Amino acid sequence: MLSLLATHDPNGRVVGLSSVPPDDRPPVNVVRLAFQTMAGIGTLLALLSVVFVLTCVFRRRLPRTRWFYRAVVVAGPVSLVALIAGWTATEVGRQPWIVYETMRTAQAVTRSNNLEIGFVFLVVVYVGLAAAVAWLLRRLARRPPETEVAGSEVAA
């Protein structure tokens, strides 16, 4: 199965990490934890969809249990955790290469000066944006915009 997955050939040879010189190996445990987090969350999200579809198809109604809707609320933020974990698995798994077998990460580090200025600027912009989003969401939660009457805006 792994031969098929890795090489698309049932007789393909899967070469183990021990064939890579120790200096060229990524921090395996970080990659493993990140991958397991991603795949674990992905599996739970898929299960949630299965519960939803089965309830709709066999009971012809929406799920009614509290835990289902609690899980739906949690699904949003944990999807983001899965996304970051997937990205971590890819980026850390490629180390020590930035371009596999062509350029090492250490060779790619910029020699530019004054990077702190750009970094601080970015942090200020994003903290400002986060504050604006929080302020807007709180305002919306307190005073939702008036909803339009359905069909009132339809052009003749």
Out of 34, 37, 38, 71, name the contact with ligand HEM by CB under 6 A.
Answer: 38
> Which residue's CB comes closest to ligand HEM?
86
| Neighbour tally for 36: CB within 10 Å | 12
**Residue 104 β-bridge partners:** 97
Query: Which of residues 43 and 65 has its CB atom nearest to ligand HEM in the complex?
Result: 43
In angstroms, how far apart are the furthest CA atoms of the chain? Answer: 72
Distance, CA of 48 to chain centre:
17
42 binds ligand HEM (CB under 6 A): yes
Cβ atoms of 45 and 79 within 8 Å: the answer is: yes
The interface mask with ligand HEM, positions 94-133, x = CB under 6 A, is ----------------------------------------
Distance, CA of 92 to chain centre:
15
CB of 118 to ligand HEM, least distance (A): 23
28 binds ligand HEM (CB under 6 A): no
What amino acid is encoded at 139 in this protein? R
Out of 3, 49, 79, 107, name the contact with ligand HEM by CB under 6 A.
Answer: 79
Out of 90, 103, 135, 140, name the contact with ligand HEM by CB under 6 A.
Answer: 90
> Is the four-CA dihedral 147, 62, 77, 95 of positive or negative sign?
negative
CB of 75 to ligand HEM, least distance (A): 10
Cβ atoms of 70 and 33 within 8 Å: the answer is: no
Residues that bind ligand HEM (CB under 6 A): 38-39, 41-43, 45, 79, 82-83, 86-87, 89-90, 93
